[in-house]
Amino acid sequence: MSNQEESDENWIAAMDDLCSQLNVDPGATKKSKDSFAEIKRNFTLEGDSLHWMACALYVACRTSITPTVESGKAVKGNCVSLTRLLRLCNISLIQFFTKIKNWMDMTLMPSDFKDKISRLEHKFAVSTILFRKFQPLFQEIFMGLTNEPVKIKSSKKHKLQPCSTNALFNFTWCLYISVKGEFHNSADDLVDMYHLLLSCLDFMYANAFMADRRDILNPNFRGLPSDWSEDDYEQPNHPPCIISVLCELKDGLAVQARTMKDYSWNRVIKLFFEKGILNGDSEDHLGVLDIGNFDVNVKSLNNLYETYVLSVGEFDERIFLGDHAQEHIGTIKKVSDTEISQVIANFGPSNKGCPDTPLTGRRYLGRRAEELTPVSEANNSLARLASFLRQSKPQPSACLMKLFAECGVSDETITKKVIEPCNTWMEQFAESLLENQCSSETIAYRCNMVTCLYYKVFEHILREEHRKKPQVSLQVLLSQETYQLTVYACCTEVVLHSYGVHSLRFPRVLQIYNLSAFHFYKIIELVVKAVVEKLSRDVIKHLNAVEEQVLESLVWTADSPLWDQLDNTSVPPSAKVTIPESPLRRGIHSPMSTVDRYPPLMADQAKKQLFKDNVKPGQSLLVQTNTKNETSPPTSSNGEITPKTPNTTPKKNNNSLMLFFRKFYSLAVVRMNDLCMRLRLTDDELKRKIWTCLEYSIMHQTQLMMDRHLDQILMCAVYVICKVSNSPTNQVERTFTDIMRCYRARPLADNHVYRSVLINTKEGSPERGDLINFYNRVYVQCMQNFALRFTGRNRDESSLSPLPAARGDATYSPGGQRVSGAPQLSVKTLTASPPPPPPHKHHLTYRFSRRFTRNKHARVVRSGRIEASVRNGGSGEAGSLRKCWSSPEAAGTCQRSTGFVR
């Protein structure tokens, strides 16, 4: 017998043993064996084979259909315990998440299954966060919790005893996760589930308090009545509510928590009493801890939760209560706090708990005043939003109505063009929340919040538009329903993110309102301008990430309206869309108005000229000419030849398309610079080559972007230019392994980007492969002739495209980056020789270093609220800038505008 045959027999025997212990049905057993054999034949499976078998078995089990006793019904999955599967395969939960992602890539699993795994991982992160909150909160209320495991009582008759604190701890967590299971669609929404946990603790406190369990209640708990320890204390008829106390102790929002208790928690608890899952006083929801009830309730809840876990195929959240919890959750080794923290950091309120700052926002978002936990981060966002909307109503304000009256907008127009469409969108949002099993009260509250925010943002945008262009009638803006809808959708995204509604995370909002990403992105900047001073750093950062997500991939889908616009005009070079002088503030760098972004059919008088007459694009390799060295004809995603688009650029009045490519190129150069920095490619000429290649692919091989991702095209450009530019004296060649390793280290990078790239779409069935496969089969066919211009006798490096300044660079504007308006203060990169002094007598120039040194040459210049201390010196010496605030408001403003770190 050969070694290969012996190896096959070993894994087949191991798989049979696993299936036997888990009682897997024959169909799923065969499916898992076939899948494992195919992957083992085509890939090298590193590590323990049992870990990969766990992946094969889980996929086979979760994609099986199991008929139920009820006629005509079936459930997805075959009721195999994920927790038991992992224990038998000796793999931790975190290790499983890593392995299953690789397995899905190798087996080309459909996106809906990948979404299930993503949600499962997110739910684990949320549960971990909540359990870490649960234990200290429990110990605030109760005392006597020890590290000893709960003793399991024997089957022999025994005298019933009151429950211990440890038994109560386990029961409380089991009750919580059982109730949470009733909110399956929203069970991973951090804010709501945290407030549900507070409701659970309030419920358990009420039962212990009314049962007079002084042996387990903490006498120092702030929620107890002040005279509780007095001899003449009389028990009230109803227990005190401790929701407000718990919110004060641990990052809660009292209003939200009470809403969750009254309309969600109490509804499920009432159902549990009616079904006999809980025994006690069904009217007052008490008596759960009474002798005779408690043990029955423990058993009943565990049976209920066991059935739930098997039916949905999720991990057992009772794992946190086990003696070997850290081993089962983290690694086989002891302690895994670092690994668990990484999982928590990667998931949280809205697909990200405390996500990294997007690259394009790092120069505008200042350092946090304090590090926040995922729960406090989410609640901080929600609290600031609620504060901003405290006095608002879901209708146009009196000030907005006055503006309409001043501009001659009739009441009939307001009703038909503003109020009625808004009510329709609110109904669409309510339907999506109803699908998530939200209570009617929660739906009404959130719909009102979105609508209130919409009217405030809409009013701000209208006032700004009227101030900039008083000659343009507001009737023009009110006639554009798509524009108003995108504002409403963006406000919806703000509320969903603030609540941490993971199941409706972006881009789900586009589906709710049937919006295209191309139309949606146009409004993000205007919304940020309207709320930037009012909402939390996390919300602004999220909108920044959403804009990047749209620009990098969502706007390039095959059904995007962008392609319709490109049918009539070709893609412009970056030099054509750059604004020469654009003061930057907090990432907002496009001074276009609403009319420019959403041009109406009859608003020619409102068009805005973006470019000065003396601005001309630089000469570049991108200009196609009728020479012998002509580039290869463009090909479609399936390799077929497609006709070239006309070599024209958008007209100056096509501001909407100009805005898009200005933002797109800005994002692209930031991504390119970051990747080059990580790859240690510092030569400016090499970066210009990479940029020229990338820009050419966008301009003349635009079909490469269809249903693909900016980063995929960027990594291919880096690879090919480094390859053709490599020489014995200039070792710049980088492998795809190097490039992908550095790409993974970038903030918010997704491994799926290079593991699943569209190859072609023959016969309506898209073929996908990894980045190398895409490069060899598609990219090279389109770009090899152009890339060869940078090597051998055809080398022409004098006509490279100019490398645009990255978004956020001080060099983006010749005058530097404005970081303060009063007084006017700008920051510009240090040059070898200082610029000549400007003619304006009040314009002063200072040069700063990183360290502050006091000496006899120091002088102080006071201007407004900023104090600059400068050490006079030569070109190699400088001073430092120190901020001095005369008021908290000034400090907040300048901190936001001068923050250059995460």
The answer to whether the Cα torsion of 440, 442, 443, 449 is positive or negative is positive
Check if the beta carbon of residue 363 is closer than 8 Å to that of residue 588.
Answer: no
CA–CA separation, 26 and 22 (whole Å): 12
Q: What is the pLDDT of residues 558-591, one digit of tens each?
A: 999 999 999 988 899 999 887 654 333 334 444 4
pLDDT value of position 276: 94
CA–CA separation, 192 and 349 (whole Å): 10
The residue written with tokens 């880096």 in the block is: 718
User: Which of 596, 583, 585 lies closest to 658 in space, CA to CA?
Assistant: 596
Residues in the chain predicted with pLDDT less than 50, given as ranges, are 1, 68-75, 331-354, 362-369, 581-591, 600-653, 808-822, 831-833, 838-841, 849-902
User: Which of 528, 250, 534, 257 lies closest to 374 in space, CA to CA?
Assistant: 250
Side-chain-facing half-sphere of 387: CA atoms under 13 Å: 12
The one-letter code for the residue type at 116 is K
User: Which of 652, 651, 660 lies closest to 710 in space, CA to CA?
Assistant: 660
Residue 554, phi then psi, degrees to nearest 5: -65, -35
Q: What is the pLDDT of residues 109-159, one digit of tens each?
A: 887 888 888 888 888 888 888 998 999 999 999 998 887 766 655 555 566
CA–CA separation, 201 and 725 (whole Å): 65
CA–CA separation, 549 and 555 (whole Å): 9
CA–CA separation, 174 and 301 (whole Å): 7
Q: Give me the sheet containing 859-863, strands edge to edge.
A: 859-863, 866-870, 880-881
Give the 3-state secondary structure percentages of the chain, helix then strand then coil, rounded to 5. Answer: 55, 5, 40
Residue 759, phi then psi, degrees to nearest 5: -100, -55
Side-chain-facing half-sphere of 316: CA atoms under 13 Å: 24
Check if the beta carbon of residue 494 is closer than 8 Å to that of residue 545.
Answer: no
Residue 768, phi then psi, degrees to nearest 5: -125, 155
Check if the beta carbon of residue 489 is closer than 8 Å to that of residue 512.
Answer: yes
Check if the beta carbon of residue 254 is closer than 8 Å to that of residue 244.
Answer: yes
Check if the beta carbon of residue 722 is closer than 8 Å to that of residue 733.
Answer: yes
**Three-state SS sequence of 804-851:** CCCCCCHHHCCCCEEEECCCCEEECCCCCCCCCCCCCCCCCCCCECCC
The residue written with tokens 């593991």 in the block is: 755
Q: E strand or H helix at 446, and its extent?
A: helix 440-468
CA–CA separation, 640 and 632 (whole Å): 12
CA–CA separation, 690 and 670 (whole Å): 13
Crossing angle for the helix pair 517-531 and 655-678, to the nearest 10 degrees: 80
CA–CA separation, 581 and 533 (whole Å): 25
CB atoms within 10 A of CB 300: 17
CA–CA separation, 755 and 533 (whole Å): 40
pLDDT value of position 798: 54
Q: E strand or H helix at 367, and its extent?
A: none
Bond preceding residue 823 cis, omega within 30 of 0:
yes
Check if the beta carbon of residue 201 is closer than 8 Å to that of residue 180.
Answer: no
pLDDT value of position 807: 53
Q: E strand or H helix at 216, and its extent?
A: none
Q: What is the pLDDT of residues 691-702, one digit of tens each?
A: 999 999 999 999
CA–CA separation, 483 and 522 (whole Å): 9
CA–CA separation, 33 and 96 (whole Å): 18
Q: Are strands 817-820 and 767-769 parallel, antiparallel or unpaired?
A: unpaired
pLDDT value of position 751: 81
User: Which of 507, 511, 464, 509 lies closest to 491 in space, CA to CA?
Assistant: 509
pLDDT value of position 297: 96
Check if the beta carbon of residue 128 is closer than 8 Å to that of residue 344.
Answer: yes
CA–CA separation, 671 and 680 (whole Å): 14
pLDDT value of position 653: 43
Residue 283, phi then psi, degrees to nearest 5: -80, -45
The one-letter code for the residue type at 197 is L
CA–CA separation, 35 and 40 (whole Å): 9
Counting every residue written for the chain, the total comes to 902
> Model's pTM, two decimal places?
0.76
Contacts of 666 (CB under 8 A, 6+ apart): 360, 589, 804, 806, 807
Work out the widest C-alpha separation in the chain, in whole angstroms: 104
